[in-house]
């Protein structure tokens, strides 16, 4: 049974839920043949997917807006990395066109959400500085 989510925890972030679902989907896709023969690609794609949700969680837990933004940028970079790896996996016929389009679409959506959150946090920080609250 899943632990009850506390208010103000990374588990409550929509982007974390999306990143978690994406990572689980990457694990599913990379577990089936012919993918299962390329251990390096499997490892790299899984690491990229896990990096996304891990950086969201770690940044949130730092309890600093600047640190959170920094880790969100890293997560966004990992989204791009995963998109590139999925493209190569599709080229190599490790995944179907449908699976590639799903992973690419999820990464693009998540990357957009990360960007919007980064921009929101940076704007809030800027507004606080203008109001002398920092």
Mean pLDDT score, 113-126: 91
Confidence band for 1, pLDDT divided at 50, 70 and 90: very low
3-state secondary structure of 131: coil
Q: How far apart are the C-alpha atoms of 75 and 91, rounded to whole Å? A: 24
Dihedral sign of CA atoms 34, 38, 41, 46 in order: positive
CB 69 within 8 A of CB 81: no
CA distances from 122 to 18, 73, 96, 119, 126 (A): 22, 12, 39, 5, 6
111: left (phi over 0), alpha (psi -120 to 50) or beta: alpha
The closest of 115, 111, 114, 134 to 124, measured between CA atoms, is: 134
pTM of the model: 0.88
Domains, the chain, with CATH or none:
11-130 (1.20.1440.60)
Dihedral sign of CA atoms 60, 62, 65, 71 in order: negative
Which of 8-22, 26-40, 117-131 shows the lowest mean pLDDT across its residues?
Answer: 117-131
Mean pLDDT score, 100-115: 98
pLDDT digits (tens, 9 = 90+) for 43-89: 999 999 999 999 999 999 998 999 999 999 999 999 999 999 999 99
Residue with tokens 């599913």: 28
Percentage of the chain beyond pLDDT 90 is 80
Q: Give residue 8's pLDDT.
A: 86
- Mean pLDDT across the chain, nearest whole number? 91
């Amino acid at each position: 049974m899943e632990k009850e989510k506390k208010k103000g925890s990374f588990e409550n972030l929509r982007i974390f839920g999306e990143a978690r679902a994406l990572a689980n989907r990457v694990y599913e896709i990379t577990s089936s043949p012919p993918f299962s023969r390329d251990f390096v690609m499997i490892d790299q794609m899984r690491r990229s997917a896990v990096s996304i949700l891990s950086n969201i969680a770690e940044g949130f837990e730092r309890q600093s807006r600047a640190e959170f933004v920094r880790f969100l940028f890293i997560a966004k970079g990992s989204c791009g990395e995963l998109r590139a790896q999925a493209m190569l996996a599709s080229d190599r016929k490790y995944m179907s066109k449908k699976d590639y389009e799903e992973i690419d679409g999820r990464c693009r959506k998540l990357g957009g959400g990360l960007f919007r959150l980064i921009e929101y946090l940076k704007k809030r920080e800027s507004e606080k500085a203008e109001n002398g609250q920092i």
